[in-house]
Amino acid sequence: MSDEEEIILSELNDADLVLQMHDDLYDGLKEEVEEGTNILLGRGWTPYDVLTKALVEGMRVVGIDFRDGILFVPEVLLAATAMKGGMFILRPLLAATGAPKLGTIVIGTVKGDIHDIGKNLVGMMMEGAGFDVHDIGINSDFDKFYEAIQKYKPDIIGMSALLTTTMPYMKVVIDTMIEKGIRDDFTILVGGAPLNEEFGAAIGADAYCRDAAVAVETAKEFMAKKHNQLATA
């Protein structure tokens, strides 16, 4: 961008600044997103409004274009990193104000598998959509998932595998949850390159998600159902 085209974020009105932040998120411009976040907070915006209107809405567009093949993983990772810059500023403020979350997610790559790019992308996109995300990392056995379940009381559990040899461990986790009588307390989403819908159904997962954008949409759908059930109970 040439100097004469440079946009001074602080000179934009609120509406234009939010739209510019959507563009900056899309382009993965972390410093600009952080600056925009601070400007809106300085103008008296609540942390929750900055999150939902500037960051989440911007990441929603990124998710749509990723799903439709317009953006690819490297670009989405850049956008997610920019979003995390804004989230770093907002997170303590959101915690202090008790701002609502869409839901809580525990996510991990299963035992024997050390691939984490897909899992990280899902975690970033989920956080960008307004979920509280707890990433337990790679090579996660049942005990690691169970410990996180007890600690974070999640609504959703996400499991990732990139190897055909580690896929079956997802069933071990689900079967052990059944044995402990806790399976029905959670929505279980699975994903990874070698998986498909048939596999997800066969191991007893609630849904198979082919990519991060689909995972976010699916998580939102399950949370909407859960809230509807609670409302009508």
Stated pTM of the model = 0.79
Same domain for 159 and 140: yes
Q: What is the mean pLDDT of the chain?
A: 92
pLDDT at 124: 85
- Domain containing residue 222: CATH number: 3.40.50.280
Same domain for 85 and 146: no
Same domain for 91 and 151: no
Structural domain ending residue among the three candidates 50, 67, 97: 97
Neighbours of 226 (CB within 10 A): 14
Structural domain ending residue among the three candidates 45, 71, 97: 97
Task: Output the CA angle 41-42-47, nearest 5 degrees.
Answer: 15
Same domain for 12 and 29: yes
Domain total in the chain: 2
Structural domain ending residue among the three candidates 97, 117, 140: 97
- Domain containing residue 81: CATH number: 1.10.1240.10
Same domain for 111 and 226: yes
Instruction: Say if residues 125 and 215 touch (Cβ distance below 8 Å).
Output: yes
Range of the domain at 48: 3-97
pLDDT at 73: 86
The tens digit of pLDDT for each residue in 42-79 reads 999 999 899 889 998 999 899 889 889 999 989 998 99
Instruction: Say if residues 49 and 97 touch (Cβ distance below 8 Å).
Output: no
Q: Is the pLDDT of residue 101 over 70?
A: yes
Residue 109 φ then ψ, to 5°: -90, 135
Same domain for 77 and 33: yes
Residues 6+ apart with CB under 8 A from 167: 161, 192, 194, 195, 199
C-alpha distances out from residue 84 to 40, 66, 78, 180, 232, Å: 16, 18, 10, 36, 36
